[in-house]
A and B are shown apart, each in its own frame.
Chain A
Amino acid sequence: MVREALLIAGKDLRIEGRSRVVASQVLPFALLSLVLFAFALNANRQALRDFTPGLFWVAVLFSALLAIQRAFAIEAADKTSDSLRLSGIEPAAIFAGKTIAVVVQLLALEALLLVGVLIFYEASIDSYPLLGVTALVAAIGVAAAGTMYGALIAGIRGSETLLPILLLPVLAPVLIGATRAFDDAFGSAAVNGWAWLVLLALFAVVYLLFGLLSYGVLLEES
């Protein structure tokens, strides 16, 4: 199971390494959204600094949609989804593998965005541990939920337009929790960020459980 999951994750990351779709399209998009937010807020330094956490996570969520779409586009292109079903790999392992690959890509995305807000928004970091743990736990939650919903709509024509409306309401609690935790980490609001991590962790656990227990049901239909 672990071996299979790592096989899938390694395969997805290797494909990304070759095609560089996320690196050359999704990461620039994430940076672009930071720039657009600055225009939207009239480049008001105070406002940008105050709202850095929220803007950061909105950028992450929108970019994550693209990364998740990509993760399922590579299986749809030449019907490798059928080959995966024929291979006998446990559905739970496919779920775990794809989730790991998305987590790795989201962490890269978050790192880039962090550099972006430090430079463009002049954000300053109060608590590095809180920042790091939040980034990781939120990425796991987003990736797990995204992998579930990606498989849920795999094989549907027009699924690109369906993913945002299905996934973004689900990710709303992650946006709230991660923004609050970052408020604490950046020192932009007096809240207890560690408490919000509990919510993020709960979310991640719920979707990891869903995926590990029921991914096969979704694969049957794609």
Chain B
Amino acid sequence: MTTNPTASRHTRVFGLISLFGFALVALLGLFLTEPDDVQGDLVRIIYVHVPLPIMAYVGFVVGAVASGLFLKNRNPFADLVACSAIEVGVIFGVLTLITGAVWGSPSWGTYWEWGDVRLVSMLVLVLLYVGYLALRQIPGDADATATRSAMMALMSVVMIPIVRYSVDWWKNDTLHQQASLTDGKLEDLTLFTLLLSILVFGFFFVWLTTHRFRVAWLEHQIAEVGLVDAIAERRAEAADGVQAAIANPGGES
């Protein structure tokens, strides 16, 4: 499998578990579980819509932990783990927003409901982390970019509870009480499917992040090799300089 250098036995295991897991969740979620009393078949989207933001938050937190490690020991490995986890987290965050809109359309009659504090805070956080990705895009000194990004990842993770509570409070302040699904009783099979789905999404998250990390690691490797070449080239320049100096002693070239 030389054509697929980011895969390994471990990632294949995670990939396969994810694949079978998703098939099982689809079977359970779409066919075997009962429709909701109020929402009917619409409720089936929770098997996707609930795990997604959890994994997004996992990505943000993993990114912050790795960033902290990077600032501590300056290991590029940690920096690349951070950027991979956050990138995957942003993707899951965006998918949360999309599935939220898809769900919102039939159940509230609108794609966007400002009363849904979870979605509103996810929107703010996704925008926050899009800024992180923008910061990473900036060309320049790799070490400086890594340090700046790591600081931002740490500051951003602290924003998660602040954004969450401010938005939550903002809405509750103005009477709009949002009934949460988890308030109601969930049937056993529904609950099982939901937990299973969260677990499967966890495997999927690890699989995606590992692949993303390996791509980043290869890029890092290439840059390192390029650096060795660049230093050799630069030293060749110096050798030319020696000859010039011999030809023209004491002179300014």
Contacts and interface: CB of A to CB of B under 8 A. Distances in A.
B128 A162 contact: no
Contacts of B128: 169-170
Interface stretch (B35-43, B131-139, B177-185, B226-234): B131-139
B196 interface: no
4 shortest interchain CB distances as A-B pairs: A173-B166, A169-B128, A221-B144, A166-B131
Interface residues of A, number: 30
Interface of A: 148, 152-153, 155-156, 158, 162, 165-166, 169-170, 172-173, 176-177, 180, 189, 191, 196, 199, 202-203, 206-207, 210, 214, 217-218, 220-221
A165 B130 contact: yes
Interface string B115-137: 00000000011011011001100
A144 to B, nearest CB: 11
Interface stretch (B11-19, B152-160, B237-245): B152-160
B173 A210 contact: no
A176 B166 contact: yes
B77 interface: no
Interface string B145-177: 001100110111011001101110110011000
Given A148-B151, A173-B167, A203-B162, 8 more contacts: A153-B148, A156-B140, A162-B135, A166-B152, A176-B167, A199-B166, A210-B154, A218-B151
9 contacts: A148-B155, A162-B131, A169-B127, A170-B128, A170-B155, A173-B163, A176-B166, A214-B151, A217-B147
